[in-house]
Amino acid sequence: MRLVPVGVSGSSPGPASPAACHLVEAEGTDPLDPGAPPRTWRIVLDLGSGAFGPLQALAAPDELDAVLLTHLHADHCLDVTALHVAAAYGPRRPAHSLPVWGPAGVRERISRAYEAEPGAELLGLPLRYLELAAREPVVVGPFTVLPVPVHHPVRAYGFRVTGPAEAGGADVVLAYTGDTDAGPGLLELAAGADVLLTEASFVEVEHGGPDLRGVHLTGRRAGEAAREAGAARVLLTHVPPWVDPAAVLDEARHAYGFPDRVHLAEPGVVVEV
């Protein structure tokens, strides 16, 4: 299973990266069609402001198998509108409606952003909107995605993505927090993960950060959660453009205890899970 961060900027696009978006790939067969040959499957975790642009360099709309949204803030979902346009009118249209999974109200949220008429179907229907439920797995080819509720001011999930390892080894786990603060949901999500892709938006108040308990993680709280959950590797994401990523990284490394296993997620850099 491969993780390719597409957008790692928090709260808004930044000068070096769009907002939240991560591509996950794996080779495998379709459990609904066992006779079909193996192929590369691709899912997208969040599709925030500005992310559809660089995503196109990695996968066309007809090469995606699902989009899963952790929550419905603009920096995590707004570029679904751009995907809609490309999938409806571009040359690489999906052969079937592309499923977009999100919290309750996802279809209405994207319809408002697209400025569709109230109550109207989105023109062309290239995308199919489905609602997540807590701890009800979503199966997409070789991936099983478990939505785990996390601590954020709106309904939000983290995703525990289980996929195949290389060369027939044991299944591997990527845990993606979306937006959250510390809490039981975060520990459940991250428990024993091979890679924890965690937001780490700010530094602690004593290091000059804002007091955003109940909204976002700091580097320190992300590192503490990773250590307590037993995550094997940590990637930090969702650092806003106005925050020093080196300071966030320093907090996380100190709290986690194994500095060489904690890194900043970088757009386009492939991570083997």
Q: What is the pLDDT along the chain (273 residues), one digit of tens a residue?
A: 999 999 999 999 999 999 999 999 999 988 878 888 999 999 999 999 999 999 999 999 999 999 999 999 999 999 999 999 999 899 999 988 899 999 999 999 998 898 765 555 555 468 999 999 999 999 999 999 999 999 999 999 999 999 987 766 789 999 999 999 999 999 999 999 999 999 999 999 988 888 888 899 999 999 999 999 999 999 999 999 999 999 999 999 999 999 999 999 999 999 999
Whole-number Å distance between alpha carbons of 98 and 124: 12
CATH number of the domain that residue 31 is part of? 3.60.15.10
Residue 45, pLDDT score? 99
Residue 259 CA to residue 139 CA, distance in Å, equals: 34
Widest CA span in the chain? 58
Q: In terms of C-beta density within 10 A (0-12 exposed, 13-18 middle, 19 or more buried), how is residue 224 classed?
A: buried
- Which is it for strands 262-264 and 234-237: parallel, antiparallel or unpaired? parallel
What was the pLDDT predicted at 137? 98
Q: Are 101 and 69 in contact (CB under 8 A)?
A: yes
User: Exposed, middle or buried, 141 (CB in 10 Å: 0-12/13-18/19+)?
Assistant: buried
Total domains in the chain come to 1
Domain that holds residue 215: 2-272
Let me know if 42 is exposed, middle or buried by CB neighbors in 10 A (0-12, 13-18, 19+): buried
CA distance 224 to 220: 6
Question: Given its phi and psi angles, is residue 141 left (phi above 0), alpha (psi -120 to 50 degrees) or beta?
Answer: left
Predicted confidence at residue 33, as pLDDT, reads: 82
d(CA 191, CA 223): 13
The size of the chain, in residues, is 273
pLDDT of residue 255: 98
pLDDT at 96: 87
Tokens of 103: 């919290």
